[in-house]
Chains A and B, each alone.
Chain A
Amino acid sequence: MVGGRGDWPALVEEASRVSSFAVELTALGEDELPGLLRFLAEEPQLPFRYVSVHGPSKGREMPEDELVAQLAELPTFVHAIVLHPDQMKDPDLYAPLGGRLLIENMDSRKDAGKYGDELARLFERLPAAGFCFDVAHAWTVDPTMKVGGDLLDRFADRLKHVHLSSISDGLEHVPLSEEQEDLFIPLLSRCRDVPWILEAEPPRR
């Protein structure tokens, strides 16, 4: 969700109007993380059955071991902690996050984490980690969606949730277009059992 960044109660309220099933609370900038950690440490009563936290991928300055230590303290009702693989310089440091750690496939701009082989090497070092499939990121890497299909083939047993949106020319997440909905359906139909996190406003149709 976008807007009102840092006002976690308001963001939760906004998200719950879309669905009370699943939410991802995103601290994309490292400066947003302390506020999110404080909010969750108070163990607020949330309406969601599935709660994910997206760790910071911008403005990173904190040493990795310190970041992991902070994320590991998230309360147990947080099911998943999503991180970008291109930000993980020393993957072994992330082992304490165990099965809550989800590694997300990256978009075409990134140097790492786009293809199955790259992610497989990470999962070898972090065998308990799960997989977050960002379908729009996969499209930027390969608009035929073969790379996306390969990711689902290889990591079917690790998949924990999906990030769903379309993506603009500037690689910003935007509401899912009808054209891309049609294109994504074959892969999304393989993910019917896991939460889908909308990374933009729900499409109006």
Chain B
Amino acid sequence: MGPLESLAEHSAGGFPNLLRAREETRRRLAETRRRLSGIDLEPRASVVLFGSWGRQELTEHSDDDWALLVDGPDVTGARCSMNEISELVGKGDRKPGDQGIFGSAISCNDLVELIGLEADDNKNLTRRVLLLLESVAVINESAHGDCWQRVLDGYLDDSIKSYRPPRFLLNDLIRYWRTICVDFVGKERAGTGQKWALRNLKLRMSRKALFAGGLLPALLCHRYDSSDIGRFLSEILRQPPIDRLAWAFLELDAPDAGVRAIGAYDRFIGMLESQQARAELERVPRNEANRSAFFVEGKKLGADFQQGLLALLFETSLEPLVREYGIF
């Protein structure tokens, strides 16, 4: 039984929408793997899916944010064309977002070697953090696994101390979260903030879950000797973000708060499955959002979710760590 199922035992209603989304993810991942099985790649290259695929939260309307990930300094690891892949994944309504982060080739070396400074642009930061926190291989799982481990090791090389959270990783995760929050406003000011209400709720829910799903394991490294921190992170970060959160609520003896926080998240996933809700959230502009019953409900779910996370961070044994490492 996984952490989500264990936490569900403390709840009368369980988490039906999340479990259904997991089943849908398994089904569609198997289907996508079959479809791409004929793609010819070098052993060091893999086709990877991000976002709700990696979180195991697929709904009918989820995008296919895919990339060709190459373990090496160049991205010529595919023996096929990018067009060949894009014919098989991310077509029509499911095409990757238009920021150029996905739907292209990624060099693992860039992710590992360009952390910080000018060259670590928004795109590189996003790709690196999402690879670590919410990615899944479609084909060539071992190449994806090798890149994933290199990215994690890249954070841990020279900066970790026994019984302390790994600062380099922690700072990059916090930086990523703050970056997407600032960029949310930046996009709106630049006139590129379409689907405002839907993106706002995703920031409150799935983006926040992603961040918390990295933050909590990083903080909990304080339990380990430096020789064990890599192993701990490697195990916990391979689970979907919501499992990491469910595990943390159980581990830190806050199952009631966990039931409510993950329950709110579950209802948000249910909302995303509704064609009517999704259509309204995609359409309603910012100045009318508070008149949308779906948006108002989503905001309340977001508040419930955040309340649970804050209780976990500030009302459990984590509090001294958050105070010490969360702000400065």
Give residues 55-101 of A contacting B (CB, 8 Å): 76, 79, 99
**Interface contact A157-B300, CB-CB below 8 Å:** no
Using C-beta atoms within 8 Å of the partner chain, give the interface range for chain B. 20 to 34
Asked, given contacts A79-B300, A193-B308, whether A154 binds B257 with beta carbons under 8 Å apart, the answer is: no
A99 touches B308 (CB 8 A): no
Contact B12 A159 (CB under 8 A): no
- Contact call A193/B315, Cβ cutoff below 8 A: yes
Interchain CB contact (< 8 A) of B260 among A76, A79, A99, A159: A159
B259 on the A face (CB < 8 A) = yes
B308 partner residues in chain A, CB cutoff 8 A: 193
Please, what's the 1-or-0 string for A142-181, where 1 marks a CB less than 8 Å from any CB in chain B? 0000000000101111110000000000000000000000
> When chains A and B are docked, how far (Å) is the Cα of A32 from the Cα of B74?
72
Quick check: is A110 within 8 A (CB to CB) of the other chain?
Answer: no
- A156: which B residues are within 8 A, CB to CB? 10-12, 255-256, 259-260
Q: Does B290 contact A76, Cβ atoms closer than 8 Å? A: yes
Contact for B307 among A152, A154, A194, CB less than 8 A: A194
The distance from the CB of A44 to the nearest CB of chain B, in whole angstroms, is: 16
Among B257, B259, B261, B296, the residue within 8 A (CB) of A76 is B296
- Number of A residues with CB within 8 Å of any CB on chain B: 16
A121: interface (CB < 8 Å): no
Would A154 and B12 count as touching, CB distance under 8 A?
yes
A88 to chain B: closest CB distance in Å?
Answer: 20
Known: A152-B256, A193-B260, A194-B260. A157 touches B12 (CB 8 A): yes
B interface SS class: helix
Tell me, in angstroms, the Cα distance from A120 to B311 when the chains sit together: 27
Q: Is A38 an interface residue (CB 8 A)?
A: no
| Contact assessment for A155 and B257 in the assembled complex, using a CB-CB cutoff below 8 Å | no
Instruction: Specify which chain A residues have a CB less than 8 angstroms from the CB of B261 in the assembled complex.
Output: 193
For residue A192, CB closer than 8 A to chain B, the reply is yes
> B13's contact among A152, A157, A193, A194, by CB below 8 Å, is which?
A157
Residues of B within 8 A of A99 (CB): 297, 300
- Would A190 and B297 count as touching, CB distance under 8 A? no
Cβ contacts under 8 Å, A76 to chain B: 290, 296
CA distance A91 to B297 in the complex (A): 22
| Chain A neighbourhood of B312, CB < 8 A | 193
Chain B residues lying within 8 Å of A152, measured Cβ to Cβ, are 256
B254 at the interface (CB under 8 A from A): yes
Residues of B within 8 A of A (CB): 10-13, 254-257, 259-261, 263, 290, 296-297, 300, 303, 307-308, 310-312, 315
Enumerate chain A interface residues (CB-CB to B < 8 A).
50, 76, 79, 99, 152, 154-159, 190-194
Which 9 pairs across A and B sit closest by C-beta, in order of nearness?
A193-B311, A193-B257, A192-B315, A190-B256, A192-B311, A157-B11, A157-B263, A193-B307, A193-B308
